[in-house]
Amino acid sequence: MPQTRQMAGFALGEDLQVRYGKVRALSEALVAPLSDADATIQSMEDASPAKWHLAHTTWFWETFLLRDNLDGYGLFDENWPFVFNSYYEAEGERIARFSRGMLSRPTVHEICQWRAHVDAAMGTLFEREELAPLIELGLSHEQQHQELLLTDIKHALFQNPLGVAIWDGSAPHSVTSGDGWHTHPGGIARVGKQTDGFAFDCEGPAHRVLLEPFALSARLVTNGEWAQFMADGGYENAALWLSDGWAWVNENAIAAPSYWRDDEHFTHSGWSARNPDAPVSHISYYEADAFATWAGQRLPTEFEWEAIARGQEGHDAAHDPAAGNQLDEAEPPLPAGSPGLFGDCWQFTRSAYLPYPGFEPAPGAVGEYNGKFMSGQFVLKGASCATPRGHSRASYRNFFYPHQRWQFTGLRLAKDCR
Ligand SMILES: [Fe+2]
């Protein structure tokens, strides 16, 4: 399939329908370099086929917008919700997650026909003001799946010993990894959703937290620093690891970040030399914590991270969530070391993904979006090189289990200032 390039960036206040068109186009552009076979395989239960992402996001629009709000709308295919519902119990039975890779049909072409059908039907809904919040949710949902599509296809292609590249390597980004620390005097900070703009339900309500004086590194930990950790026996020293992490290292023979091979790493452009100055990525929470211990520092809490991102009067200026190395178009994502808190890699915090005081899931099936996953996961802040620009914000809470590392996950160190 020919490669197409689409801009994903949003202009502030841009018309909802225009944004819808851009988001939908980017999803298809990301799949354009894939064969139907590439788009069908599922390399592990955590990852879904690229084709499934194209279809599931369309199921979301068809189900929650068109079926529920457009009189007379008929489903494109009544059998498809069973295979493209992800985890919504309120929407009934569905295919087992690990069977998504068995769906040789429908083809990518047939799914794109469904996408066009849904896009055409959506046209009349943009004028209905009461649907705007649900359309915003659908846009953010599809953007989340764009990032997953990129990380899932990377994991799938990695299984192929031929070193498949789906894009040419992009020109190297400039690396501006300045040293230094963002300091915070401590005190009461207000965190969580604080604007009228869209946010997921798990980002609210806004509330106060008490911070002790701390500092947050001005940059992410690099590949070169990670190589030092390895050379110093970081993966062999039980004293550096959480108990669960040490068991995970030994049970899975973990000795390096995912996608590392000698001085190379696997990317969407195939195998290439690692840049020692670029941020390390594809590490688990366990690895991030062990590195921080080795470095004599620690991971930040989600509240410390957010307080720095928002800026404090008389201290650091607020950081722009739309700045940094994030996804603008169908291009190979690669961490580079951009300044600011957003971009390159999602950053582990030591905060468990739990409800904020007063949290209530949204009513109905979409209430299953976040709240039911608040068990055993950690919050990650920022955005990655695979996050569509405009998607993240200071209150954004990404979350993963502590052993997972197929996302662009990195770390930014923190320390106490007492
Ligand atoms: Fe989803």
Q: How far is the CA of 141 from the centre of ligand 1 (A)?
A: 6
User: pLDDT per residue over 382-400, tens digit each?
Assistant: 999 999 999 999 999 999 9
Mean pLDDT of 236-242: 98
pLDDT at 4 over 50: no
Name the band, by pLDDT with cuts 50, 70 and 90, for residue 16: very high
CA 308 from centre of chain:
20
User: pLDDT per residue over 20-56, tens digit each?
Assistant: 999 999 999 999 999 999 999 999 999 999 999 999 9
Gap between the Cα atoms of 70 and 125, Å rounded = 8
Q: How far is the CA of 147 from the centre of ligand 1 (A)?
A: 11
pLDDT recorded at residue 36: 96
Q: How far is the CA of 272 from the centre of ligand 1 (A)?
A: 32
pLDDT at 2 over 50: no
Q: How far is the CA of 22 from the centre of ligand 1 (A)?
A: 18
**Ion ligand 1: residue ranges with CB closer than 5 A:** 86
pLDDT, the chain, mean:
93
pLDDT recorded at residue 6: 37
Q: How far is the CA of 362 from the centre of ligand 1 (A)?
A: 16
pLDDT recorded at residue 318: 77
Q: Can you spell out the DSSP letters for 189-228?
A: EEES--SSS---GGG-S-EEEEE-SEEEESSPPBHHHHHH
Name the band, by pLDDT with cuts 50, 70 and 90, for residue 12: very low
pLDDT at 7 over 90: no
At what angle are helices 50-60 and 16-31 packed, to 10 degrees? 160
This prediction has a pTM of: 0.95
CA-to-CA separations, 208 to 149, 205, 290, 308, 354, in angstroms, rounded: 35, 10, 30, 15, 15
- Give, in words, the CATH class of 181-416: alpha beta
pLDDT at 176 over 70: no
Torsion angles phi and psi, residue 264, rounded to 5: -115, 170
Burial of 40 (0-12, 13-18, 19+ CB in 10 A): buried
Q: Can you spell out the DSSP letters for 67-110?
A: IHHSTT---S-TTHHHHH--S-GGG-----GGGGGG---S-HHH
Q: How far is the CA of 98 from the centre of ligand 1 (A)?
A: 15
Q: How far is the CA of 56 from the centre of ligand 1 (A)?
A: 7
User: pLDDT per residue over 295-353, tens digit each?
Assistant: 999 999 999 999 999 986 556 677 899 999 999 999 999 999 988 999 999 999 999 99
